[in-house]
Amino acid sequence: MFERRQPIPIGEAVKKIMEYQIPGKMEYVLIEESYGRFLAEDLIATCDVPHFDRAPYDGFAVRSIDTTNASQSNPIEFEVIDHIGAGMVSNKVVKDNQAVRIMTGAMMPEGTDAVVMLEVAKTYEKNGTPYMSIKRSFKKGENVSFRGEDATKGEILVKKGTLINPGIQAMLAAFGYKKVPVAQKPIVGLFATGTELLEVEEPLLPGKIRNSNSHMIAAQIERAGASVQYFGKLPDEFDTCFEAVKDVIGKVDLLVTTGGVSVGDFDYLPEIYKKLNAEVLFNKVAMRPGSVTTVAHYNGKLLFGLSGNPSACYVGFELFVRPIIRKQLFTEKPHLRKEKAKLDVDFPKANPFTRLVRSTVTIDGGRLRVSPSGLDKSNIIMSLAGANSLMILPGGTRGIQAGSEVDVLLLEDQTGSEWPW
């Protein structure tokens, strides 16, 4: 009567999935739409930065050689022959004891090699001609930002697979990337299964609940960096489910279903995989929640059968689906970032298998602390709202004391890790 399933360790399950990774694809988007996307190529300096010698301060561009003998007792006078702001170019060539009044960011005029800051110069006019004088000498190159000082043409500045943040946006603009090569967002198909499911807008009925998993997973898909294609909910009927799954596989990069993977009398996903002739990578993982997570490979696509239980579904997505999405976004760190944190409260529950507890990580005096974000009942969606992490409690423990150091996986962090187990 019972189907006997062989549980495998989480790390092994993840490994089996990652062996089937599908290569990422590139597309170009306008720079205005590139924030939050992942670079599909290295960002390369297309020019020197700055690409001309320039003034970093408001002042006077001079020939340093003319300042050599300037001192408190020997002020040296310069005729001011031009006046330029950023973006203007002086067409004068600066000669002996001449200067150009120059604003921050403007190009150094021909002949000059130092900038006298405005506040150290005395300015005046003689017969309608502007002059300035200084009482100290300036070295060659003093107060000049030199061409190539910040970046050299050809230099790799940001690696492929990096998430585009505001600073990278600035660099893309500076280097003329009007169109930015970014990773295409993988299209993740999504079905919710279960006769008990109502749509969000439907009134409650006895025995039925609103479909919350697909909205949750849709947000998780978006957080991971992919696009969701929601195909609706399916009743617990074998033929309907089989046809629906078969029908959409060709239209998506990955397919996620929620529910129907357990050993209940109306759980048809295992049979569907069988009839499809899909290769089941695993159908039981040594973890709580989410042990019944089932992943199969069919026709070059991965099919993720997540539990219908909200918490198991959530955890299964983050452990198994997220990394394959991130890999297609070219990142070298596709897994959730793993860090150490100090447990704030006792966790008395025994863990026969590795337990992933939805948790809230806080920072106190520069140290990570963690506590469960709700009661650890796997059917409670409430505890998901405050969760910013999953605490990993190793299998085979009899509960863990407050103050212990535990591993946590950070859910809202973009850093990632190469391999979490």
Binding span for a copy of itself by CB under 8 A among 243-251, 269-277, 302-310, 319-327: 302-310
Tell me whether residue 281 or residue 324 sits nearer to a copy of itself (CB atom). Answer: 324
Q: Which of residues 174-213 bind a copy of itself (CB under 8 A)?
A: 174-178, 194-197, 200-204, 206-213
- C-alpha 113/C-alpha 138 separation (Å) is 9
Which H, E and C letters describe 244-299, residue by residue? HHHHHHHHCCEEEEECCCCCCCCCCHHHHHHHHCCEEEECCECEECCCCCEEEEEC
> Can residue 357 be called a binding residue for a copy of itself (CB under 8 A)?
no
> Can residue 414 be called a binding residue for a copy of itself (CB under 8 A)?
yes
Tell me whether residue 261 or residue 303 sits nearer to a copy of itself (CB atom). Answer: 261
Least distance between a copy of itself and beta carbon 290 (Å): 14
Pick from 361, 327, 359, 378: which is nearest to 224 by CA? 327
CA diameter of the chain: 108
Q: Which of residues 207-266 bind a copy of itself (CB under 8 A)?
A: 207-220, 222-223, 230, 235-236, 262-266
Least distance between a copy of itself and beta carbon 416 (Å): 13
Q: Which of residues 126-165 bind a copy of itself (CB under 8 A)?
A: 145, 150-151, 157-158, 164-165
> Can residue 391 be called a binding residue for a copy of itself (CB under 8 A)?
no
Are 334 and 322 in contact by the 8 Å Cβ rule? The answer is yes
> Can residue 325 be called a binding residue for a copy of itself (CB under 8 A)?
no
Residue 307 is classified by DSSP as -
Least distance between a copy of itself and beta carbon 86 (Å): 4
Residues near 170 by beta carbon (within 8 Å), at least 6 away in sequence: none
Tell me whether residue 194 or residue 281 sits nearer to a copy of itself (CB atom). Answer: 194
Tell me whether residue 95 or residue 367 sits nearer to a copy of itself (CB atom). Answer: 367
Total residues binding a copy of itself (CB under 8 A): 111
Tell me whether residue 65 or residue 156 sits nearer to a copy of itself (CB atom). Answer: 156
| Residue 124, beta-bridge partner list | 131
User: From the list 19, 72, 87, 125, which residue makes contact with a copy of itself (rule: CB under 8 A)?
Assistant: 87
Pick from 221, 216, 220: which is nearest to 185 by CA? 221
User: From the list 25, 340, 399, 401, which residue makes contact with a copy of itself (rule: CB under 8 A)?
Assistant: 340
Residue 148: other Cβ atoms inside 10 A: 17
Residue 22 is classified by DSSP as P
Residue 83 is classified by DSSP as E
- C-alpha 269/C-alpha 272 separation (Å) is 5
| Residue 76, beta-bridge partner list | 134
Tell me whether residue 281 or residue 359 sits nearer to a copy of itself (CB atom). Answer: 359
User: From the list 14, 49, 62, 296, which residue makes contact with a copy of itself (rule: CB under 8 A)?
Assistant: 49
> Can residue 58 be called a binding residue for a copy of itself (CB under 8 A)?
yes
Least distance between a copy of itself and beta carbon 4 (Å): 12
Backbone angle region of 399, left / alpha / beta, with phi > 0 → left and psi within -120 to 50 → alpha: left
User: From the list 26, 65, 86, 402, which residue makes contact with a copy of itself (rule: CB under 8 A)?
Assistant: 86
Binding span for a copy of itself by CB under 8 A among 103-111, 134-142, 280-288, 298-306: 103-111
User: From the list 38, 40, 101, 256, which residue makes contact with a copy of itself (rule: CB under 8 A)?
Assistant: 101
Least distance between a copy of itself and beta carbon 220 (Å): 5
- C-alpha 191/C-alpha 213 separation (Å) is 10
> Can residue 50 be called a binding residue for a copy of itself (CB under 8 A)?
yes
Residue 254: phi and psi, rounded to 5, are: -140, 155
> Can residue 387 be called a binding residue for a copy of itself (CB under 8 A)?
yes
Residue 274: other Cβ atoms inside 10 A: 12
Q: Which helix (H) or strand (E) holds 379?
A: none
Helices of type H across 80-177: 166-174
Are 192 and 234 in contact by the 8 Å Cβ rule? The answer is yes
Are 10 and 421 in contact by the 8 Å Cβ rule? The answer is yes
> Can residue 277 be called a binding residue for a copy of itself (CB under 8 A)?
no
The pair of three-digit structure tokens given for residue 376, joined into one six-digit string = 């650890």
User: From the list 25, 251, 274, 367, which residue makes contact with a copy of itself (rule: CB under 8 A)?
Assistant: 367
Q: Which of residues 18-47 bind a copy of itself (CB under 8 A)?
A: 31-32, 35-36, 47
User: From the list 368, 395, 397, 421, which residue makes contact with a copy of itself (rule: CB under 8 A)?
Assistant: 368
